[in-house]
Amino acid sequence: MRYPHTAPTPAWIETSALTAPALLGASAGLLLGDLMHRSARRGVGIGLGALGVALLLPLVVGGVAGLVTGPKSKFGVRRRIQGIRDAGIGSPDYDEVDEALREQGLI
């Protein structure tokens, strides 16, 4: 179920999440394949694997942040209640007495 007031996932996070499995598969292929010299194959495979893990990190961090500060978490509920309470306060810069005195020319 999607919540109407939650922000959508940015496109670059989805793109990195879709690219990561391909990079992880390529790194596994290079590590297991015999087409390259062993030391070159290991270096390229480890580099591509690290890049794949790095591309998955934004998705993981976004998911954990959503669990911690999402609408059903303790912090999300507190933020929503505080927003409801603050909505009735009005603008703190507006003072009715000062405005009335300015209209009369006393200030």
The amino acid that residue 73 corresponds to is S
The C-alpha atoms of residue 27 and residue 68 are separated, in whole angstroms, by 33
What's the rounded mean pLDDT across residues 40-60?
Answer: 85
- Provide the pLDDT confidence category of residue 92 given band limits of 50, 70 and 90: low
What's the rounded mean pLDDT across residues 15-38?
Answer: 80
Residue 9 makes CB contacts below 8 A (sequence gap 6+) with: 62
The ranges assigned to domains in the chain are: 10-69, 71-107
At 50, list the tokens: 């690290």
Rounded to the nearest angstrom, the gap between the alpha carbon of residue 37 and the centroid of all alpha carbons in its chain is: 40
Record the pTM. 0.45
Percentage of the residues of the chain whose pLDDT score is greater than 70: 85
Cβ 37 vs Cβ 103: under 8 Å: no
